[in-house]
Copies of this chain bind each other. A is one copy, B any other.
Amino acid sequence: MLKKHQLYQQLKQDIQLLQWLPGTVLTQQQLAQHYGVSRIVVRDVQQSLLNEGWLLVHGKAGMQVPGFSAAEAEELCLLRLQLEPLALQLAAANISFSRLGQAEDMLASIDAGTTLPAYQRGELNWQFHRLLYQDCGKPHLLRLLDQLHQQVSRYLGYQEQALAYAGTSAAEHRELISLLRGGNISTACELLISHISSASKLLVQYLQKNKAP
């Protein structure tokens, strides 16, 4: 029988992989029955997922599976663009060679994982970025970035190829490492900006073409 954290992971993944279609209205009882847990567990998970944007409140009863929109994706990317360069700039002053090494290891994992599903590659990709920001010394900023990533990652199950390409531009990642190793912080921030920008544009364009569900 599923426990709280397992249900959390499972339901989130099911939403991401469109096992529950956007617009669907779910009730606590429905979910409790479907996943074989008590409503108490569902309630806990429900509140977490509501906070993280994986579910929306739906009137006075029920929760709704959110859809996708180019406007929302654009907003999320705008916020990333506003905060991630700041995090990089702050972290760059403190970053150690061992941290850079960790990041390089992560790049190797990404290279090795070409056969993984898009949403898992997206996760690795974020973990790489996250390592670069790790030493910024601003826990609230990191928390916000994690939240933003979560919300962006909701789109990764939806469109397989567009972001699969955009997120994993290995050359830019390696260039970032190299700039940080050389202490060239401002150039690194600029590269990060263009890196995020171009990924954003691809995502938004994809959503504008393929009318979102």
| Residues in A lying within 8 Å of B, measured CB to CB | 40, 43-44, 47-48, 51, 72, 75-76, 78-79, 82-83, 86, 138-141, 144, 151
> Within the complex, what minimum Cβ distance (angstroms) separates A29 from chain B?
17
With contacts A51-B51, A86-B82 taken as known, whether A140 is within 8 angstroms of B44 at the C-beta atoms is no
Additional 10 contacts, C-beta under 8 A, given A47-B48, A75-B139: A40-B40, A44-B47, A72-B140, A75-B138, A76-B140, A78-B138, A78-B141, A79-B141, A82-B86, A144-B144
Complex interface: chain B residues within 8 A of A82 (CB): 82-83, 86
* In the bound complex, CA of A78 to CA of B137 (Å): 12
Residues of chain B within 8 A of A86, CB atoms compared: 82
How many monomers of this protein are in the complex? 2
20 A-B interface contacts by CB (under 8 A): A40-B40, A43-B44, A44-B47, A47-B47, A47-B48, A51-B51, A72-B140, A75-B139, A75-B140, A75-B141, A78-B138, A79-B83, A79-B140, A79-B141, A82-B82, A82-B83, A82-B86, A83-B83, A140-B151, A144-B144
Q: Write out the residue numbers on chain B whose beta carbons fall within 8 Å of the beta carbon of A79.
A: 83, 140-141, 144
Q: How far is the CB of A86 from chain B (nearest CB, A)?
A: 6
Distance between Cα atoms of A44 and B48 in the complex (Å): 10
Tell me which residues across on chain B come within 8 A of A43, comparing CB atoms: 44
The 3 A-B residue pairs whose C-beta atoms are closest, nearest first, are A75-B138, A75-B140, A51-B51
